[in-house]
Amino acid sequence: MPGVFQLSVDEAVREVSGAVAVGVNAVLLFGIPAKKDDRATGAYAKNGIVQKAVRALKNEFPELLVITDVCLCEYMSHGHCGIVSVTRGQGKVLNDPSLRLLARTAVSHAEAGADIVAPSDMMDGRVGAIRMALDGAGFSDTPIMSYAAKYASAYYGPFRDAADSAPKFGDRRSYQMDAANAEEALREVQLDLEEGADIVMVKPALAYLDILYRVKKTFGYPTAAYAVSGEYSMMKAAAANGWVDERAVIMESLLGMRRAGADIIITYAACDVARWLADG
């Protein structure tokens, strides 16, 4: 993925320091453990990579908003977002047993000092399970930004490559959404809000601006758009070939997300965008 790398905690602090310097005020963290297993142990380890990074970043930049992606796929040897059971050679992602691990992961992030947790797994009921676990652990003030309408998308390719998190078998269609279905996105968002989500996200962004618009219009909640790795990489590649003007196309696409109703945009171009905005 162009310009996006796996970083150690030290390197992450340096990277964020550069981001803060140009005016970026929030970051979203993803972790890659030294060892993956079939229980995603690294996801909720007290000294896991994200927990360490959160502590280091909050220590270094107390004003920075630190959001953590809560999922299991980067920590699972099989690359799925939940627990997998195999019967007769067929793997199946188990929804309910995964909730406990997701909740545990979210609490461990909050304990490390995360300002917002962002579950991206798309298991049913995870927002409620995480809300209950956070409240029970004394983190009733920690908000949840849920990846509420997350589609099973080919646009996640560069991320999975960078995070080494592509599923080893099958795909994510048993938990992520069908690209053809718009109504289900609204139901997913409604469920997440009922379970206690504070911010709802639509992902990917560009190919789903209609969904973004409907989510904002229907619920009026703080709504985030995630401009995913594939969207970013396509623009970078086209720009590198001299086919499009990088700054112009990135700004135009982010503007489209704002126009469609995004209150928050998550983008790999954040540092560039902050610089462009600063120089008008």
Shortest Å, Cβ 228 to Zn ion = 13
* Interface residues toward ligand PBG, by CB under 6 A: 69, 71, 73, 81, 120-121, 156, 159-160, 172, 228-229
Q: How many residues does the chain have?
A: 280
Task: Considering the candidates 36, 150, 216, 236, report the single residue annotated as catalytic.
Answer: 150
Query: Which is closer to ligand PBG, CB of 21 or CB of 202?
Result: 202
76 binds, among ligand PBG, Zn ion, none (CB under 5 to 8 A by kind): none
How far is Cα 261 from Cα 255, in angstroms, rounded to an integer?
A: 10
Label residue 66 exposed, middle or buried (CB < 10 Å: 0-12, 13-18, 19+).
buried
The three-state secondary structure class of 66 is strand
- The yes or no reply on residue 118 touching Zn ion (CB under 5 A) is no
Q: Which of 35, 36, 203, 236 is catalytic?
A: 203
Residue linked to tokens 């086919």: 243
Instruction: Assign 3-state DSSP to the chain and report helix, strand, coil percentages, each to 5.
Output: 50, 20, 35
Whether residue 203 lies in the annotated active site: yes
What number of chain residues touch Zn ion (CB under 5 A)? Answer: 3
| 71 lies in the binding site for Zn ion (CB under 5 A) | yes
Does position 81 interact with Zn ion (CB under 5 A)? The reply is yes
Asked if 73 touches Zn ion (CB under 5 A), the answer is: yes
Q: How far is the CB of 104 from ligand PBG (least distance, A)?
A: 17
Helices vs strands, H then E, count in the chain: 10, 9
Active site residue 216: no
- Partner that binds at residue 175, options Zn ion, ligand PBG, none, CB closer than 5 to 8 Å by kind: none
State how far the Cα of 53 lies from the Cα of 66, in Å rounded to an integer. 10
In the three-class reduction of DSSP (H, G, I as helix; E, B as strand; rest coil), residue 130 is classed as helix
- Compute the least distance from the CB of residue 239 to ligand PBG, in Å: 18
Task: Please report how close the Cβ of residue 160 comes to ligand PBG at its closest, in angstroms.
Answer: 5
Token digits of residue 66 = 């630190």
Nearest to 201 by CA among 257, 152, 143, 262: 262
Residues making contact with Zn ion (CB under 5 A): 71, 73, 81
Q: Which residues have a catalytic role annotated?
A: 150, 203
